[in-house]
């Protein structure tokens, strides 16, 4: 397993290193990836310490052979995340001679098989977005024991020893902030619906648990229903349409962990005949369509992007591992809070206003915070990848 440095001096170095991430190779384009360009709040507010992993045992001379096992391209966010990985690999062709990518189509069993195939091809490093936390744990452990470093991105497995570094944007911080905004927006009282993402996927489960933690501290908040949506706009609309039939105007808030299903929820209210000023407060970032709906209909809203630019950051971390540079056990990519003007609450303030952030001139299916520049279009994206 990778050696974790735990001396007081190393922990101090770790803290200083994470503080400086916004200016290092890990997050060198943080201002491009997320307009909030300060140090990640999840670092500043974390009462613990982020271990610094000694990767000297993995140091090799370039060029490198990297395998990327992707969980799926099952939603727009995952496609954009994958493009970010390819974007950064193409930028580093001088260091990467071979890049092998597999896609499990959301099937954890297939992903285990994909990873075994990659390990058999003598890759230097495995980059992985695990389909589920449990099913992928053993195979990643085998990779690490074989001496092949693992960098996990977006999702992780349960055992810390089964990866060198985890690249993410804090699911718990995202959920707590959006849930706290909802509590304060409703004055601590109201009937709400929870729309988490994909059942079993670590981001969805972490976000749901963290949101419930916040709502449990507000006794006046009543959860009417909780339905997983698979991060699908169509599912969000279908599920919320059924919930509206049961509860109608008794629904006073909708907490969605992403604008993917959140946009579907808003469409359901509009389809049910709700006027713009009757749509209850909603949460959910990522999808430009969600921001467009909030701008057009002026309902109370908070957006927090789970920035897919973590795919870019994950490649940077992977290269640092192969160069033998110490890396944080957890790398947080910045997110930002988007609120319409006048929608701040006591605890939750905007980093950028909805009016400034929304792309009314861009397609609704654009995923925000991608980090690939203003000309990025998922429909035409191409990357010149090493073979």
pLDDT, one tens digit per residue, over 187-246 is 999 999 999 999 988 889 999 999 999 999 999 999 999 999 999 999 999 999 999 999
* CA distance linking residue 128 with residue 158, whole number of Å: 14
Please state the rounded mean pLDDT for residues 140-149: 97
Tell whether the model's pLDDT for residue 137 goes beyond 70: yes
Locate tokens 């993410």: which residue? Answer: 168
Q: pLDDT category, 309, cuts 50, 70, 90?
A: very high
pTM, rounded to two decimals: 0.81
Copy the structure tokens of residue 84. 């970010």
The predicted pLDDT at position 46 comes to 65
Average pLDDT for 86-101: 97
pLDDT at 328 over 60: yes
For residue 245, what are the CA distances in angstroms to 206, 234, 263, 299?
29, 17, 18, 20
pLDDT of residue 321: 98
> What is the Cα–Cα distance from 284 to 181, expressed in whole angstroms?
12
> How much of the chain exceeds pLDDT 90, in percent?
77
- Who wins on pLDDT, 243 or 26? 243
List 304's β-bridge partners, or say none. Answer: 337
Q: What's the pLDDT band for 36 if we cut at 50, 70, 90?
A: low
pLDDT at 9 over 60: no
The reported pLDDT for the residue numbered 42 is 67
Q: Identify the CA nearest to 256 among candidates 247, 269, 245, 246.
A: 269
Structure confidence at residue 259 (pLDDT): 97
Strand ranges, E, within 28-94: 52-54, 64-70
Contact 340, 279 (CB under 8 A): no
Structure tokens at 245: 């039939």
- CB count within 10 Å of CB 353 equals 15
Residues 352-378 pLDDT 10s: 999 999 999 999 999 999 999 988 999
- Residue 205: the pLDDT is 94
Q: What is the pLDDT of the chain when averaged over all its residues?
A: 89
The residue that leads in pLDDT, 301 or 20, is 301
Which position has the higher pLDDT, 288 or 32?
A: 288
Pick from 217, 220, 229: nearest CA to 253: 220
| pLDDT value, residue 2 | 45
Is the per-residue pLDDT at 44 higher than 90?
no
Whether the predicted pLDDT of 47 surpasses 90: no
Confidence (pLDDT) at 122? 95
Predicted confidence at residue 31, as pLDDT, reads 32
pLDDT the model gives residue 37: 65
pLDDT tier for residue 74 given thresholds of 50, 70 and 90: confident
Whole-number Å distance between alpha carbons of 211 and 208: 5
Q: What pLDDT does 242 receive? A: 98
3-7, 91-95, 185-189: the lowest-pLDDT one? 3-7
Q: What is the per-residue pLDDT for 15?
A: 36
Instruction: Give mean pLDDT, residues 42-62.
Output: 82
- Domains in the chain: ranges and CATH: 3-169+309-332 (3.40.50.2300), 172-306+339-357 (3.40.50.2300)
Looking at the DSSP bridge assignments, the partners of residue 254 are 193, 282
Strand order of the β-sheet with 352-353 is: 221-226, 190-195, 253-256, 282-283, 301-304, 337-339, 352-353
The pLDDT, as a whole number, for residue 200 is: 86
Mean pLDDT of 48-53: 78
Once rounded to an integer, what is the mean pLDDT over residues 113-122?
A: 97
Mean pLDDT of all residues in 95-100: 98
Residue 33's pLDDT is: 38
| pLDDT band with cut points at 50, 70 and 90 for residue 34 | very low
Mean pLDDT across the stretch 41-60? 80
Backbone angles phi, psi at 292, to 5 degrees: -65, -45
Contact (CB, 8 A) for 195 and 255:
yes
The pLDDT of 110-114, averaged and rounded, is 97
């Amino acid at each position: 397993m990778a050696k974790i440095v735990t001396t007081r001096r190393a922990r101090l170095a770790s803290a200083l290193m994470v503080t400086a991430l916004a200016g290092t190779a890990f997050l060198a384009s943080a201002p491009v990836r997320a307009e909030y360009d300060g140090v990640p709040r999840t670092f500043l507010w974390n009462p613990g310490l982020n271990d610094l992993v000694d990767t000297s045992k993995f140091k090799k001379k370039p060029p490198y052979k990297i395998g990327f096992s992707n969980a799926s391209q099952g939603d727009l966010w995952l496609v954009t995340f994958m493009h970010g990985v390819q974007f950064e690999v193409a930028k580093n062709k001088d260091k990467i001679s071979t890049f092998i990518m597999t896609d499990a189509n959301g099937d954890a069993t297939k992903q285990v098989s994909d990873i075994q195939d990659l390990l058999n091809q003598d890759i230097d490093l495995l980059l992985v977005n695990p389909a589920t936390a449990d099913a992928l744990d053993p195979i990643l452990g085998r990779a690490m024991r074989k001496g092949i470093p693992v960098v996990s991105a977006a999702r992780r497995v349960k055992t810390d020893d089964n990866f060198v570094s985890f690249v993410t944007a804090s699911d718990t911080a995202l959920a707590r902030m959006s849930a706290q905004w909802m509590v304060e927006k409703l004055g601590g009282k109201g009937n709400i619906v929870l729309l988490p993402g994909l059942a079993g996927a670590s981001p969805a489960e972490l976000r749901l648990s963290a949101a419930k933690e916040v709502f449990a501290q507000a006794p006046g908040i009543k959860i009417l229903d909780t339905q997983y949506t698979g991060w699908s706009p169509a599912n969000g609309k279908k599920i919320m349409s059924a919930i509206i039939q049961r509860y109608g105007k008794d629904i006073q808030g909708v907490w969605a962990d992403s604008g993917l299903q959140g946009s579907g929820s808003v469409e359901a209210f509009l389809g049910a005949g709700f006027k713009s000023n009757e749509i209850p407060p909603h949460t959910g970032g990522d999808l430009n369509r969600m921001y467009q709906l909030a701008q057009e209909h002026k309902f109370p809203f908070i957006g927090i992007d789970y920035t897919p630019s973590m795919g870019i950051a994950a490649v940077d971390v992977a290269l640092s591992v192969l160069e033998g540079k110490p890396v944080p056990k957890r790398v947080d990519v910045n997110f930002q809070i988007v609120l319409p003007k006048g929608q701040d609450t006591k605890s939750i303030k905007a980093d950028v206003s909805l009016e400034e952030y929304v792309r009314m001139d861009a397609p609704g299916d654009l995923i925000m915070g991608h980090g690939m520049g203003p000309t990025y279009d998922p429909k035409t994206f191409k990357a010149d990848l090493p073979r």
